[in-house]
Structure 1
């Protein structure tokens, strides 16, 4: 059995701090739950982790920051694990203070390499009396009493809007803390959009895998309309709760058409599409991690119609070309810069 993440081990060292009704925000390994207690509330913004958490008896699992199971003033102890994106910590702390009862204990746990030192400054902006209770497993554990819980937590207050213009097409894109490429059009996606304009996908229905805030689908439909073409339906999948929330908001704001769903990869998805486009992630925190894309490439052919097209952009140093050829079909490079490459393949 693999060991727990350092932050989870550090919390277990301080399990005597966990009293009353306990909530854990940002858990990454469900194996911690039976070690913490028989019941409680647990939240993850990752669809795969949430699915695993929901299988643990006695614990109420919630997916992301808008889950209806999150109710104000219901917890006596709230544990906040440090998120990968520092900007998300304030969102997580705001939720924690809304979930807390008067006099509840709030605990912040994080690794040094994740930036717990800087995170403590954010914690003290909310709870100035917070103090360190332990240093272990390369982590710090901080604790504070919640004398005045928040009376309101409105997710819409955390959504920002960014106007994006590319190749003469303008769209508004929703953003939330933790969402990829917040407030800008990243270079890889821009190159993918260029390829969709110069070499259009011949399909009336597409899937945008790892859709993020919904940029590709909204831009493509707007570009097609401005080019006097029929706008294709673009469905979207993403593993992250905030991305799904933002993509749906982006689609609504821009009048885009498509179904946006949360999914950890393609294994739990039914159906086939005549085309799939993607700018897949390759990071887990600060580490390069291509496992999600490699799993996607193993599964993608079963979700492409016969002769269907895969259009993928990735950092040029990543070893995807051979995998695309092996799992999908003959591959070609449509666009290439020093940093990024757009690949196209048709299912054999």
Structure 2
């Protein structure tokens, strides 16, 4: 999630009328994040789109208009606000989609911290739009352009959109920019996959399934596993999961879901996970601890959790609170592999 000062800076561009706020018609917000900043804009004009399930649910709960996650066509909007994702190719594609969808004279506005690419974002937007302007405040940069179709670099914009597409990053493994460790297998996940024994059996879940690497390894090497259910909050990963796990049709399901709210109770014989410990750009080890609590509730009484985490992350106390037994199996290259068994039932 972006810091509040990023949105404060973005709103300055509107308050100063450097970017005009439309008096009617939709105000489109791409990669939308919920928060007080949105409530400072005309609620009845806002149309949001996000591929991140917790944000999607929070925006709908706030009563905002939210586009279907798989929507292709964007509404004509004289103002499109882009909340830039962290990964370069994904961000450039989002600028390109916003600009190409905008009507003639429509504005595209974004903001980033200076130390996380504010100047670069402005330069990228100018590359496809012809020019861009900006203001700086709170160590952040708001930047914008308005569409003049005759000067839009359409071939470059289309190239950036294409660079955001699903691709095969190694034989049989499909990913796309912006996903966790999107262009290479994460060493921690690889270590975890090697630690799950071949005799593992039953129905398993992969929490934060990404593009399907862990589940692929388990379905390949553990013949007694009946099915893997993958839960992933980022919708952009779901199509990658289906491509990666296509050879295992009938032995997996993929769910666009918030792990913290959507898991069935006492359903799984085992769970594997490499839990996230960032919220956007901010470290948040509490998120990993929440994953552990959710896993304990989703496991059967005799179930097992297999977990990989960076060595420094403080998960042991949470594991002790949620499981009757836990053991660190590996401590290698900055990662720890932990097996926890027999979840405690929370009163």
CA contact (8 A) 1:161 1:183 kept: no
Three-state SS of the structure 2 residue aligned to 1:184 is coil
Question: How far apart are residue 219 of structure 1 and its match?
Answer: 2.0
Deviations 1:149-175 (A, max 9, x none): 779897896111111xxxxxxx52221
| CA distance in 2 between partners of 1:249 and 1:31 (Å) | 38
| CA distance in 2 between partners of 1:312 and 1:177 (Å) | 25
Partner of residue 85, structure 2 = 83
Task: After the TM superposition, list the runs of 4 or more consecutive aligned residues in structure 1 that deviate by more than 6 angstroms.
Answer: 149-157
After superposition, residues 180-329 of structure 1 pair within 5 angstroms as: 180-196=180-196, 199-200=197-198, 202-224=200-222, 229-252=223-246, 255=249, 257-271=251-265, 272-329=267-324
After superposition, residues 1-348 of structure 1 pair within 5 angstroms as: 5-15=4-14, 16=17, 17-19=20-22, 20-37=25-42, 38-57=44-63, 59-62=64-67, 64=69, 67-68=70-71, 70-72=72-74, 74-132=76-134, 134-148=135-149, 158-163=165-170, 171-196=171-196, 199-200=197-198, 202-224=200-222, 229-252=223-246, 255=249, 257-271=251-265, 272-348=267-343
Question: How far apart are residue 253 of structure 1 and its match?
Answer: 6.1
Q: 1:157 to 1:32 in 2, by over 3 A?
A: closer
Q: 1:99 to 1:114 in 2, by over 3 A?
A: same
Question: How far apart are residue 51 of structure 1 and its match?
Answer: 0.5
Unaligned runs of 5+ in 2: none
CA contact (8 A) 1:189 1:279 kept: yes
Question: How far apart are residue 285 of structure 1 and its match?
Answer: 4.3
Question: How far apart are residue 181 of structure 1 and its match?
Answer: 0.8
Question: How far apart are residue 292 of structure 1 and its match?
Answer: 1.4
Q: 1:219 to 1:202 in 2, by over 3 A?
A: closer
| CA distance in 2 between partners of 1:264 and 1:62 (Å) | 18
Three-state SS of the structure 1 residue aligned to 2:237 is helix
Q: How many residues align?
A: 328
Deviations 1:82-124 (A, max 9, x none): 2122332112112212431222111121111321112222212
| CA distance in 2 between partners of 1:254 and 1:91 (Å) | 31
| CA distance in 2 between partners of 1:102 and 1:123 (Å) | 16
Deviates more, 1:259-268 or 1:185-194: 259-268
Question: How far apart are residue 63 of structure 1 and its match?
Answer: 6.0
Q: 1:291 to 1:99 in 2, by over 3 A?
A: farther
Q: 1:141 to 1:157 in 2, by over 3 A?
A: closer
Deviations 1:307-335 (A, max 9, x none): 10100011111111232122122111222
Question: How far apart are residue 29 of structure 1 and its match?
Answer: 2.5
Q: 1:113 to 1:288 in 2, by over 3 A?
A: same
Q: TM-score of the superposition, structure 1-length normalised?
A: 0.85
Three-state SS of the structure 2 residue aligned to 1:12 is helix
CA contact (8 A) 1:210 1:237 kept: yes
Question: How far apart are residue 147 of structure 1 and its match?
Answer: 2.3
| CA distance in 2 between partners of 1:342 and 1:259 (Å) | 25
| CA distance in 1 between partners of 2:4 and 2:55 (Å) | 14
| CA distance in 1 between partners of 2:246 and 2:99 (Å) | 30
CA contact (8 A) 1:265 1:292 kept: no
Three-state SS of the structure 1 residue aligned to 2:32 is coil
CA contact (8 A) 1:30 1:52 kept: no
